[in-house]
Chains A and B, each alone.
Chain A
Amino acid sequence: MIVSDEVSRREGWTNEVFQDLQVKADLGRYRIRGFSTFQRIAHFDDIIFIPRYISGKGVELRPADVSTETVLGTRYARNAISISTPVYITGMSYGALSRSAKTALAKGAAKVGTATCTGDGGMLTEERKYSTTMIYQVNASRYGVTPQDMISGDAVEVVVGQGAKPATGGLLMGQKVSAIIAKKRELPPGIDQRSPTRHPDWLGPDDLGIFIEMLREVTDWRVPVQVKIPACRVKDDVKLAAKAGADGIVIDGMQAGTGASSEVVLDHSGIPTLPGIVLAREALEELGLLKKVYLVASGGIRNGIDAAKAIALGADAVAIGQAAIIALNCNRELPGITDFVREVGVPAGYCTKCHTGKCPVGITTQDPRLEKRLAIDEAAVRVASLLSSMTLEMKLITCALGKRNVHDLTVDDLSALNVEASMMAKVPMVGNGGTLLKSAGRGK
């Protein structure tokens, strides 16, 4: 063979493309899956911190001295939320996730003193019971939204869209719509649910301003109201949300996870988390609202270093979803209990079948038989351990940079390892002192 298959791969005719194409020729429609994008894109790994080994201060810093206390929502709300670490657990719906999974996340977050968020499916009583700080999400679907539940929240989040599937509505496949879920969402059981993508309560940024004011009236101006935006036209969207009166903005990059999405938007819509954070910071800077309106970054944050980098780029906090789910045992073979290959057709580590409701470890399912495989209290400990390890890593890197507070990390502490990351995150290339940005900047 003279022309190697490497050649066709270089032009994008990979065996994955073949498989995808043949599946579509069978199905006759677009495909749906869960998890996260398969695109190879610039991410936190492509930028690094440059520690200071010799400091001029003459004071020995230890990781334990570093503060990670995070206060969010000081713009208009009477009661800002205060969490022990800048990492909290993002909104994932009861419906996409099982009751046990939601409960374990709430318990785990409470153990380390951070927040959870309800998601697109209404509030679960257990979540409110165990979570010390609960963000109440308001979606276009209005599933389970009640003023009673809303006032029990410690913050309210208005979702414009998700990074994994911007500008398309939520999806919950029929096999996950059990009788209980159906009741909660006031819909027939067993039928695919396709939530609307536009909010029925508001249309456009001016309307959003009125809507936010309404939420403030409902909650008596007590709790912060944050707006979650998928990273697309970041600068415009962040400015409009800030103008509409948000206390905080969550910017969700294209590496964000999901329980179910059309594959085409999962992989081909939205920009990466890196430029998402940077553009959001710049937008707030331009408005003179940096640090007045808080910024939360999400989408593909896996560990404390990712989180620290997000904070250095301008975020005040980060939200994790997929990482927390993985701590619950996602994609982990449990000897004697699970058999990934038999149950979902792929080995542990490769499962993206969240949408099917057949989650072998009982997280993204409504099947009581599978849900039993998730031991709530043990899972909560694992979630807490993940959060603590992330916090520890953040402390360590902050300390290595000679700082006492994780929120003191800045862009100046970072360098990029490749051109895309350098241009997207607007940090200099390693060893180049920032000149590359100038030379690579184009006229367009």
Chain B
Amino acid sequence: MIYPHSQIWTPQTIADIHSRAQGQYRLSGFRPLRDLPTFDELVFLASGLTRFPLEGYKEKCKTETTLGFRTASTPLVLETPIYVGASSALENRVRLELARGSSLANSAISLEGKVNRDERKLARRMIYEVPVRKGASRLVSSLKADAIQLNLELGTTLDALHSLIRDLRRRGAVKVPIFVSCPGARVEDEVKAAVGVGADGLVLQGLKTSTITRPEGLLDYCRVPIIAGIPRAREALRERRVLGEVSLISATGTRNGADASKALALGADAVRIDEAALIALGYYNSSNEIAEEGRPNRKIEPGTGIRVAKFINSMTMEIALLARSLGKGDVHSLEYEDLSALTLEASLMSGVRLAGE
């Protein structure tokens, strides 16, 4: 039996209004009614007669990634352009396995919230995330982070960000890179502001509607999709003459090596995976689990982190495979000109030319 329903008054919308009417605030709205363009709508223009592809296995394609060498004396060096993110909402055992996976893949993990000793021990390279608040610099000093990420919150002033960075540098954290997370709303403004106060790297978010667990989360709707955000951030870096100096990290929507390659080609220096790492771990098992409120209570066995490492390895191989087919000996040589768009939306958002244009 098929139950036809209205495009806007879906059973979900109706249930949402019912729960609001009973005094429960449940999040909804703002979601696009149509599919958002994903990285899938961009394709690579592999080598033909104008350039030479590299042979798989025989010819090397470098994947080493160095982040945050603008002012830091010890930049973050990874074996792959992929690293893992772990939010503070995740249970400790899950964060431990993500950390284990990132270390096995010779990559890094970005940890938000309180970091315990086990997590620090398992994470070979750790990016420590702190909110831009008074006294935040004290949180950092004891952890010996390999990089620091400053998370902007609504209402963060530029002064607060500036003085926190100054404070961190004064406290001796000057050696490691300081990243600033950009929400990806007014991308150019965010990038220019962060660059202005001395950020070594930018962690760029994009529009996502699927992981909403708190009221502030509705602001996650009000962002630029990542395929539009990366080129704009890159353009802002170019205008500030720090392109190639300030690292750009794409932190939304990466599901596989193809997505990551496209993020690199659009202008990112590295890609952070969140949901994908959790799926590899077996934490999420279907698409509606990501969308649901709350977290699945699933048993994650110690040692499962190897799956995250294997997944990162598969992604790294995919990126190198595509890069070789484009004749690149380094995954960081992927560029805008290597892409073509399959839909008008993707073309207009990313600025990549439509196939056939």
Contacts and interface: CB of A to CB of B under 8 A. Distances in A.
Interface of A: 1-5, 7-15, 17-18, 20-22, 24-31, 39, 41-42, 160-161, 166-169, 194, 196-198, 203-205, 208, 229-230, 232-233, 236-237, 240-241, 244, 254, 262, 264-265, 267-272, 274-276, 278-279, 419-420, 423-426, 440, 442, 444
B2 interface: no
B71 interface: no
Contacts of B287: 5, 8-9, 13-15, 17-18
B47 A232 contact: yes
A13 B344 CA distance: 21
25 contacts: A2-B12, A2-B19, A3-B210, A4-B10, A7-B291, A17-B287, A22-B279, A22-B280, A28-B310, A30-B318, A31-B314, A160-B48, A160-B49, A161-B48, A167-B46, A167-B325, A168-B325, A194-B57, A265-B321, A267-B40, A268-B43, A271-B340, A271-B356, A275-B356, A444-B353
Interface string B37-74: 01110011111111011111100000000000000000
A271 B43 contact: yes
B288 A1 contact: yes
A405 B93 CA distance: 71
B174 interface: no
Contact of B356 (A22, A28, A426): A426
A28 B314 CA distance: 5
B63 to A, nearest CB: 14
Nearest to A17: B255
Interface of B: 10, 12, 15-16, 19, 26-28, 31-32, 34-36, 38-40, 43-50, 52-57, 208-210, 212, 253, 255-258, 261-262, 275-276, 279-282, 284-288, 290-293, 307-311, 313-315, 317-318, 321-322, 324-327, 340, 342-344, 348, 351, 353-357
B49 A208 contact: yes
A241 B49 contact: yes
Contact of A24 (B40, B48, B314): B314
A279 B355 CA distance: 9
A169 B53 CA distance: 10
A166 to B, nearest CB: 4
Contacts of A4: 10, 12, 288, 291
Contact of A278 (B212, B279, B318, B356): B356
Nearest to B288: A5
A8 B284 CA distance: 12
A47 B314 CA distance: 38
Contacts of B43: 39, 254, 268-271
Nearest to B206: A11
Given A264-B256, A268-B258, 16 more contacts: A2-B12, A2-B19, A3-B27, A3-B28, A4-B10, A8-B210, A11-B208, A15-B286, A25-B282, A26-B310, A28-B313, A29-B314, A30-B317, A198-B52, A265-B46, A424-B355
Contact of A166 (B48, B52, B355): B48
A234 B208 CA distance: 35
A419 B351 contact: no
Contacts of B348: 442
A3 B12 contact: yes
Contacts of A276: 356
B216 to A, nearest CB: 16
Contacts of A168: 46, 53, 56, 321, 324-325
B208 A197 contact: no
Given A168-B56, A168-B321, A3 B293 contact: yes
A288 B281 CA distance: 58
9 cross-chain pairs, A with B, having the tightest CB-CB distances, nearest first? A275-B356, A5-B288, A28-B310, A166-B46, A167-B46, A167-B53, A167-B325, A237-B48, A12-B38
A25 B308 contact: yes
B48 A229 contact: yes
Given A3-B12, A25-B310, A423-B344, A30 B257 contact: yes
A260 to B, nearest CB: 13
A290 to B, nearest CB: 17
B44 A268 contact: yes
A147 to B, nearest CB: 25
Nearest to A229: B48
Contacts of B48: 160-161, 166-167, 229-230, 232-233, 236-237
A269 B310 contact: no
